Amino acid sequence: MEYIPIIVLVLSFIGLLSIGMPVAWSIAISSVLTMLVSIPALPAFTTVSQRMGTGLDSFALLAIPFFVLSGQLMNKGGIAHRLIAFAKTLVGSLPGGLALINVIGAMLMGAIAGSAMASASAMGSILGPEMEKEGYSREFGAAVNITSATTGLVIPPSNILIVYSLASGGVSIAALFLAGYIPGILTGLFLMLVASFWAKKKKYKVGKRSSLKQVLKAFIDAVPSLFLLVIVIGGIITGIFTATEASAIAVLYTLVLGFIYKEISFKSLPEILLDSSATTAVVMLLIGASMSMSWVMSYENIPQNISSTLLAISDNKIIILLLINLILLFVGIFMDMTPAVLIFTPIFLPVVTALGMDPIQFGIIMVLNLCIGLCTPPVGSVLFVGVGIAQTTIQKVVKPLLPMFLAMIVALFLVTYFPQLTLWLPSLFDL
């Protein structure tokens, strides 16, 4: 009997997704069906709807709409152009220079905006045509853009790390933000190595070396944009303000910067606000539905049953972590990142903590895992954005994507089995 709720939950969720039901509604309906196993219909519907409402009743979640808005303001406010110009002076003369610029630009953009979609959109539209003009294949450019855009979900500030903090029962957001730096940069470096090797093999054109004067000029132009990092992360770490307050400051800063750069006007603000509201609404609906499913799973003891099953398979930490990684990689292919974090954190966190893993490290592992899913069909939102901007097809992008996936998986397994890659920076600040 104890496995009936799990069977109902999994089969109803997969069945609803397979007939084209939106993810949020699939989660909510399968939660109700699972509750019907134990209680009558009226309490089941009432409980799930209440849990959707209370799941959104969190001060930390206020950071998400603000960071979404700051990402939109960055995208429209000329900040991406300046970050790309700075990256160009650093690596433009290396093999695959424009591809490396894409990776560094995405890492910088992600470190400020915290949005993979914003990064893929900005880098693809600005660098895509330039790469094609220099002889790079359209598909290679799209593959680099798609995979590098996800580094911004690990490098702070990151909305998904805030969601993980909520799902894990209050792991420090400041500690998670600091923990994301080394894994995010490591992933970016591996992507750069693969991109450089591929470009050398295909004999793509190499750019001219920038002079020290050009590097300094590009850096000075980019300083106001990069300073946002100092304000947001510095303020959170030193305790001057919370992550939510930092997100509001990020909006104010990027808005002022957009007006100073004369890339944003009062006329363009309504469109930016509407786009941000639409993105936020989708994310919040997913969070509400996922929180209800998390509660249902807890009520039916599903996490405990899965945990005991996993630990019964083996007590070897390496084997269990390998299994969890494989499951999350599979989940990421079919499920969006936000519900995946909210649903699977309560399931796997007790398992890894029983094995002695720090919840901070597991948060980064989970996000890195699901980043790969964003680049794969059928649910890969960043894949669709990157392919759409490059005006190519998924079938053509698959070949150059495969070595990029390999680079991301290598980074993931290093982070999984070497805890200090995530825990060193938080430990420096006693977080």
47 occurs within a structural domain: no
Domain assignment present for residue 406? The answer is yes
What is the total count of domains within the chain?
1
Secondary structure (3-state) at 335: coil
The Cα 149–Cα 372 span in angstroms is: 11
- CB distance 424 to 414 below 8 Å: no
> Alpha-carbon distance 12 to 19, whole Å?
11
Whole-number pLDDT of residue 417: 93
In a domain, 24, yes or no: no
Q: What is the pLDDT at residue 47?
A: 87
| Number of neighbours of residue 273 by Cβ within 10 angstroms | 13
Within-domain flag for 54: no
> Nearest to residue 373, comparing CAs of 341, 342, 416?
341
Residue 130: inside a domain, yes or no? yes
At residue 396, the pLDDT reads 87
Quote helix, strand, coil % in the chain, to nearest 5.
80, 0, 20
The answer to whether position 27 is within a domain reads no
Which of 101, 89, 91 is closest to 131 using CA atoms?
A: 101
Give me the tens of pLDDT residue by residue for the chain, a chain 431 residues long: 567 888 888 888 888 888 888 878 888 898 899 888 888 888 888 888 888 888 787 777 787 788 778 877 877 777 777 877 887 788 767 777 788 888 888 887 766 666 677 677 777 777 778 788 878 888 888 899 889 989 888 988 888 898 899 888 888 888 999 999 999 999 999 999 999 888 888 777 776 777 888 888 888 888 888 888 788 878 877 878 887 888 888 888 888 888 888 888 888 888 888 888 887 887 788 788 888 887 887 787 777 777 777 778 877 888 999 999 998 888 888 777 888 888 889 889 988 998 889 999 999 999 999 998 888 876 677 887 788 888 888 888 888 899 999 999 999 999 999 999 999 999 988 87
- For 254-297, the DSSP string reads HHHHHHHTT---TTTHHHHHHHHHHHHHHHHHHHHHHHHHHHHH
Q: What whole-number distance in Å separates Cα of residue 228 and Cα of residue 112?
A: 7
Selection from 111, 109, 116, 141 nearest residue 127 by Cα: 141
Residue 17 domain-assigned (yes or no): no
Residue 86 structural domain: 59-428
pLDDT value, residue 340: 86
343 contact partners, CB below 8 Å, separation of at least 6: 27, 290, 293, 294, 297, 335
Q: Does a structural domain hold residue 263?
A: yes
- Main-chain phi, psi angles of 95, to 5 degrees: -55, 130
Residues 6+ apart with CB under 8 A from 39: 47
**Residue 362 near residue 318, CB atoms below 8 Å:** no
